Structures are given as structure tokens and as C-alpha cells.
Amino acid sequence: MLVTKPHPFYALSAEGSYITDADGWTRIDWVNNFASLIHGHNKREVVEIISQQAARLLSATMPAEWEVRLAELLVERIPSVEQVRFMNSGTEANLIAIKAARAFSGKSKVAKLEGGYHGQYDLLEASYVPSADRWGARDCPAVLAHNSGTPKSLLDELVLFALNDIATMREILRRNASEVGTVIIDPSGLSLGTGVYADREFLAALRETTERLGMVLIFDEVWSLRSGYRGTQGAVGITPDITTMGKMIGGGLPIGAVGGKRDVMSVFSVDEGEPKVKHSGTFTGNPMSMAAGFTAMSLMVPEMFEMLAVQGQRLTDGLRRALTDTNTQGHVVNRGSMTNLLFTEGIPVDYRDLYTQQTPTVAALAAKMPKLMATEGLHVLRNMFVGSTAISDDDVDQTIAAVTRALVAAREAR
């Protein structure tokens, strides 16, 4: 849910690229349920398969055909995925992936990016948004709880490093190599909505370092899978040991998935008695999500990803014009179907840089814009535009005009 004050927008209905709230406002939807609706709303083929499947089989403890079909599709497309298991959210996928990596490596500690987001598991939530007064030294960042009540013993299991700083990352992993067996990263960058992207060289160095130190590398592609037909890993040509997925692979229904090479995935195997990691769940691999996911993913042929990239570029060019025309300091950063409007002076490279560049003026404008854009007919989260195949060129042009008006309104309100 998106929390807006004084109350949230209550959704009533949606169609294609548009969403209508309970007050009767219809807006172009650039959130697409946190990047899960790759085809926008109510894609005909997806709605049809959901209706048919609902009449046939809602859920069962037995696997069903759609699970196999979706698994085969992911195995064919995603380089690191030879075997895959399904669950119900990205959070759950990361939780299970960590269990698998621990069982495989034999070491309990996990390393992740300072400022990285991987869902609601409290271990991985730590230091998601740390403040400068507490974050500690850059080469040994303090691990800070995200929620009150998080056990200190859990925080002791986490090690942090910064994005795009190869030397420090290598040094931190080397120093902790006897205890860290797992490294998790969203290969597209820092975390959803920040617009801070990973350099390919950094990902390559991380792959080389984890391999050398015997650590399991997890790519959290829960949202970055939308970057290309073979995910971000296919686009950059770097293959992790485990990939976690979610969002778009469910076609709009709840889903999570953990995939990897046969050797790592063998921790789940029941072939030789008790598996090292026991994984089950009431709704895992449920036929509704599997059917919707397979249908939505089948429609995402390579040309569709190219179309999304062209759409993203059209939007990026237009938003850059909007910044110039309204004399607003800022940048537009784009990766395929993800476009971010940043009001910072430079383009941030890591969490601390992003945090430091959020001066009160920058933060105030960033906080104000989603509301102003909502008034102009756009549904946008954190100044990030998540594309979908339902969005037309006309929608993009209307968006650029609406953002320009919102920037003018923001200036007048200053």
C-alpha cells in the first residue's frame, strides 16, 4: 500500500495504463503495483487465464501443470536458473535463498549493501535507511536495526559494504571471509526508487571476489528482472549462484521464486532423505499465480523489452526537457522501463552519497512532487516512473506535460 497523508488513495478500478480511485480520479499509473504489473492493468490474456483457472483449481497441496510451465520458462531464460522453487513474495524468496546459501556455504553471516532493500526479513532490512550520525566508518559500516525490537544477535549476522566502491568491498569481504558465506545484492543498484545504479565493473568485481572467497552470490532480481528478457544478469553478462524473483513473474498475483544452479539448489533435494533446507508453505506454487505468471511472462518476448526501453527513453528525454524548461536542478536516470527523477546536484553513486545530497531543499521538492503530479493526473511513487506495455506514446507525452506543470507549481509554492 502507498501511504499518503491525510489518507491513502483508495483504488476502485483500473484498465491498461489507468487507475481510478474512490474519489473518481483517473490517473496514468506509473507505479504498476510496485513494478509487478508489467502489462499494466487487466491484461486480457491474464484475466482470462485467471478466470479459467479459478473455475478449475484454486489451490492444492499437489503441484500443478502451470508451476512446471513457469519453471521451464524461467530456466530457459534466466542464465543462473537451472532449478527453481516458488513461494508467495519477494521477501519470502530472499529469506529462503539465505537459508539455502547458508546451508551450502556452511557459514551463517550475510553481506549486503548499506542502503539495500530486499523485503521485510529483519536481517536484510537492517541499515536500509541508516542516518549519518550512526552509520559509522565507511570501511566498517555500523549495522543498524530498521525496527525497534530487532534482536542484537541477528544484527551480528550482517556485514555491510557500499555500492560501486570495488576496493572497499573487496577489503570488507576479505576481512570477514571466515564467517560470511552469502552476499546478496540487487544487481540493478541500491534499491527500488533511489535511482542509484550499479556499475557493471562493480558487479563483475563482486562476482570475482565472492567466487574467490567461496561465498554464495545472490542476485535479488525481484524487480530488476524487468530490465531484460534474461533479467539484469543477462543484460550485464554476470551470473550469480542464486537468483530471487517476484513481482512481474506472477502476472499481478502474489509470487516469489528462488532459482539457481543445481549444486546450490541441491540443498532442497529430497532424493537422499532429509533435505538440508526444508521448504514448504500453504500457498507455495499456487496454480492461480503460476497460471497468471506464465501467461504474463510468455507475452514478454524480447521485442517487448525493447519497446519498454524505447518508452523509457522517450520519457527520459521529455523529463530532461521539463527540468530545463522549468529551470529545476535535477537529473533523469533511466534503465529500460525504470526512470527516476532526481533533484540532487549530481548523480549519486551509493547510499551515503544519496543521503548527503538530500539537502533540505532537495528533500522538500522530492517529497512535494508526487502529490503535485497526482493533481496533474499521474500516479507516481517516489518520483520513479515504472513503465508497462500498456503505456502508449500519448500517455508518455501527457506525462511529460503533467510533470512540467507540477514542476512549475512546485516552484510557485516555494
Residues in contact with ligand PMP by CB under 6 A are 34, 89-91, 94, 117-119, 186, 192, 220, 222-223, 246
What is the nearest approach in angstroms of ligand PMP to the Cβ of residue 31?
A: 11
CB atoms under 10 Å from CB of 231, counted, come to 25
* Residue 187 preceded by cis peptide, ω within 30: no
What is the nearest approach in angstroms of ligand PMP to the Cβ of residue 57?
A: 23
CB 274 within 8 A of CB 301: no
Which residues neighbour 280 within 8 Å (Cβ) at sequence distance 6 or greater? none
Nearer to ligand PMP, 119 or 252 (CB): 119
CB 81 within 8 A of CB 243: yes
Rounded distance, CA 120 to CA 246, Å?
14
Run of H or E including 77: helix 65-77
What is the nearest approach in angstroms of ligand PMP to the Cβ of residue 38?
A: 14
Nearer to ligand PMP, 220 or 241 (CB): 220
Residue with cell 551463517: 108
CB atoms under 10 Å from CB of 312, counted, come to 21
Nearer to ligand PMP, 254 or 330 (CB): 254
What Rg, from alpha-carbon coordinates, does the chain have? 21
Record the cell numbers describing residue 338, joined without a space.
Answer: 525504470
Nearer to ligand PMP, 318 or 370 (CB): 370
10 Å CB burial of residue 304 (0-12, 13-18, 19+) is middle
What is the nearest approach in angstroms of ligand PMP to the Cβ of residue 401?
A: 29
What is the nearest approach in angstroms of ligand PMP to the Cβ of residue 199?
A: 18
Nearer to ligand PMP, 38 or 396 (CB): 38
Handedness of CA 230, 223, 336, 239 (dihedral sign): negative
Rounded distance, CA 275 to CA 231, Å?
29
Nearer to ligand PMP, 193 or 377 (CB): 193
- Distances 393 to 263, 266, 310, 378, 388 between C-alpha atoms, Å: 45, 46, 10, 15, 12
What is the nearest approach in angstroms of ligand PMP to the Cβ of residue 394?
A: 29
Phi, psi of 47 (to 5 degrees): -60, -40
- Is residue 38 classed as helix, strand or coil in its secondary structure? coil
What is the nearest approach in angstroms of ligand PMP to the Cβ of residue 124?
A: 8
What is the nearest approach in angstroms of ligand PMP to the Cβ of residue 192?
A: 4
Q: Mark out the alpha helices in 107-217 (DSSP H runs).
A: 122-125, 152-155, 166-175, 200-213
What is the nearest approach in angstroms of ligand PMP to the Cβ of residue 189?
A: 10
Nearer to ligand PMP, 281 or 302 (CB): 281
CB 225 within 8 A of CB 248: yes
Nearer to ligand PMP, 97 or 410 (CB): 97
Rounded distance, CA 400 to CA 384, Å?
13
Which of 409, 387, 343, 402 has the alpha carbon at shortest distance from 16? 387
What strands lie across the sheet with 216-220, from one edge to the other? Answer: 83-87, 256-260, 242-246, 216-220, 180-185, 109-113, 158-161
Q: What residue number has its CB nearest to ligand PMP?
A: 90
Nearer to ligand PMP, 244 or 266 (CB): 244
Nearer to ligand PMP, 314 or 379 (CB): 379
Nearer to ligand PMP, 117 or 343 (CB): 117
What is the nearest approach in angstroms of ligand PMP to the Cβ of residue 255?
A: 8
What is the nearest approach in angstroms of ligand PMP to the Cβ of residue 303?
A: 25
Which of 303, 302, 314 has the alpha carbon at shortest distance from 394? 314
